[in-house]
Structure 1
Amino acid sequence: MNNVNIGGDNYGAFNVGGKVSGDLSGATVHNPRLAELLGQLREEAPQAKAELTRLREDVASGAAKPAEVRSRWEKIKELLTGVSEVSGPVTKTVTAVHELISAL
């Protein structure tokens, strides 16, 4: 008879069908590339400068939790949506940031 007995608690994220659900308990985000891109975007998109500055500082220091980063990023994307000044470089930066945040 082959049995597998798994016990205990799981506080980690689950990957189901390529979609990550849940957060690691106590996990924070420290991604220098993400911080760099947020700084670049802050210079290119002044309409979201304050929000980008705070998010960049938290990511650079490692103080931000994944769920907070995703939530704040959604708010920043709303600020950028429909802005006529959004250029090709801004769009590329937004795409790169979104890919990094989606992987959290």
Structure 2
Amino acid sequence: MSTGTVYLLHFDRPFKHAKHYTGWTSGDLDGRLAEHRAGRGARLLAVIKAAGIGFTVARIWAGDRRLERSLKRQGGASRRCPSCGVIPRRSREVAP
């Protein structure tokens, strides 16, 4: 499986229950974020754009789609989000 970048986006304000988005890109993170800001790529990010909600990159990890899926399955993105007051601890999954 291809290694890339897993990223956690923190929304400027919640959209219904959603406050975060976890995604993955195999290549250019800046390009992928530009797609999200344009309302393309992920349905949730298109909806928050239409609602006038912005986002910031809260965390990134070096990893593959399996890491992205694992983080999504665990839920609780706010527990991994420095913007929500969480101080990430160093682990195998955190990029230096």
TM-score (norm 2): 0.27
Q: Which one has the bigger helix percentage?
A: 1
Q: Which has the larger radius of gyration?
A: 1
Q: Which one has the bigger strand percentage?
A: 2
Higher relative contact order (CA 8 A, sep 6+): 2
